[in-house]
C-alpha cells in the first residue's frame, strides 16, 4: 500500500465521475468542461503512477490540443437554448437499454478480475526509457502511427473544406 497508489486511485475515481457527468450533460460546453476535468484528473493519476511523460502529454495534447479543437468546432455551431432542450429531450428517453447493456459489460469485467489486492507500489518509468523504447524497438510502430496522423489530417482537411460554388 503506497500513498502514490492511493492518490492515483482517488484521481481516477474523480475522472470517472467527471466523465459520467460529461456524457450526461445536455449542454455541449458543459460536457466539454467536464471532459477536461476528467482528463486532468487522469493526468494527475498518471503522475501518481510514476508515468510523468504520459501525464504531461495528457495535459498538453489531450486536454490542450484535442479539447481546443472541440471548442473550435462548438464555436462554429449554433448551441442555443433550443439545442440544449432538444438534447435534454433525447436524454430523457432511451437510457434504460444502454444502461442495462453497460451493466452487463461491467459486471463480468469487474467481478471477473481474478485477482486479490495486495501491497505494492507503482514503479516510476522515466521518459528516457520511454524514448529509448519508442525510437528503439518500436520505431516502425511509431512511424505507422505518424502516418496515420498524416492520413487523418489530410482526410479532415478534405472533408472540412468548403465546396466550390457549382
Partner 1 sequence: MIDLPFFLVASLVLAVGLFAVGLFGLMLRRGILFQIIALEIMLTGPALAFVAAGAHHGDPGGQGMFVFVLVLAASEVALGLALYLRLGRLADVADSDSVRTLRH
Partner 2 sequence: MSLSPFLALLLVPMPAMGAFLLLGLGPAHLERRAVQTVGMLGAVAPMAVMLPLGAYCLAGVCDGVQPIFDLTVGDAVVALALKLDPLSALVGVTVTAIGACVITYSVDYMAKAEVPDQRRYFALMNLFLASMLCMVLAGDSIVLFLGWELMGLCSFFLIAYHVTSARAIAAGRKAFLITRVADALLLAGLLLLFLEAGSVRLDALIPAGIATDEVRRGLIAALLLGGALGKSAQIPFHTWLPSAMAGPTPVSALLHSATMVAAGAFLLARFAPFLQAAPLVMAATAVFGAATALFGAVSAVFQKDIKRLLAYSSISQIGFMLLAIGLGAPEVAIAHFVVHAIFKSLLFLSAGDMTQMARGTTDISAMRGALWARPLAYLAFVAGAASLAGIPVITAGWFSKEAILAAAWLAGPFGVLLWLVAMAAAVMTAVYAFRPVFVGLTRIDRPRPTVGGLFTNVPVVALAIATFAVAPLVEPMVAFLGGVPPHPPRAVELLGAAAPFLGMVMAAALTFVPRLSMRVSRARRLRSGIRIDGIYQVTFVQPFVGLVRWLTGQKGGIADPVGTLPILGAERLTAAVVRPFAHDPLDRGWSRFSAGLVRGWAAGRRLQTGRARDYALALAFGLALILLIAWGTTWR
Binding positions for partner 2, rule: CB under 8 A = 97-98, 101-102, 104-105, 107-109, 111-112, 114
Residue 77 DSSP symbol: S
d(CA 107, CA 113): 10
**Residue 135 interacting entry, from partner 1, partner 2, none, C-beta within 5 to 8 Å by type:** none
**Residue 133 interacting entry, from partner 1, partner 2, none, C-beta within 5 to 8 Å by type:** partner 1
Q: Report CA-CA distances (Å) from 31 to 9, 45, 53, 146.
A: 23, 21, 26, 29
Q: Using the minimum distance from each CB to partner 2, give the nearer residue, 93 or 123.
A: 93
- Only one residue has cell 518509468, namely 125
Q: What is the footprint of partner 1 within residues 78-97 (CB under 8 A)? A: 83, 87, 90-91, 94-95, 97
Cell numbers given for 130: 520511454
Residue among 22, 37, 44, 59 that touches partner 1 (CB under 8 A) = 22
**Residue 12 interacting entry, from partner 1, partner 2, none, C-beta within 5 to 8 Å by type:** partner 1
Residue 6 DSSP symbol: H
Size of the site for partner 1 (CB under 8 A): 92
- Compute the half-sphere exposure of residue 141: CA atoms within 13 Å on the CB side of its CA: 6
Amino acid at each position: 500500500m503506497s500513498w502514490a497508489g492511493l492518490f492515483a486511485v482517488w484521481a481516477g475515481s474523480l475522472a470517472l465521475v467527471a466523465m459520467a457527468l460529461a456524457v450526461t450533460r445536455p449542454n455541449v460546453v458543459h460536457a466539454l468542461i467536464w471532459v477536461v476535468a476528467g482528463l486532468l484528473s487522469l493526468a494527475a493519476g498518471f503522475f501518481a503512477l510514476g508515468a510523468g511523460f504520459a501525464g504531461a502529454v495528457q495535459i498538453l495534447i489531450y486536454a490542450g490540443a484535442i479539447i481546443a479543437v472541440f471548442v473550435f468546432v462548438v464555436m462554429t455551431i449554433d448551441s442555443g437554448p433550443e439545442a440544449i432542450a432538444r438534447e435534454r429531450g433525447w436524454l430523457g428517453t432511451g437510457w434504460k437499454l444502454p444502461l442495462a447493456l453497460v451493466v452487463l459489460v461491467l459486471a463480468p469485467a469487474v467481478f471477473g478480475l481474478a485477482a486479490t489486492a495486495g501491497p505494492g507500489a507503482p514503479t516510476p518509468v522515466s521518459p528516457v526509457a520511454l524514448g529509448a523504447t519508442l525510437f528503439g524497438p518500436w520505431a516502425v510502430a511509431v512511424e505507422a502511427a505518424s502516418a496515420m496522423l498524416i492520413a487523418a489530417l489530410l482526410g479532415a482537411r478534405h472533408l472540412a473544406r468548403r465546396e466550390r460554388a457549382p
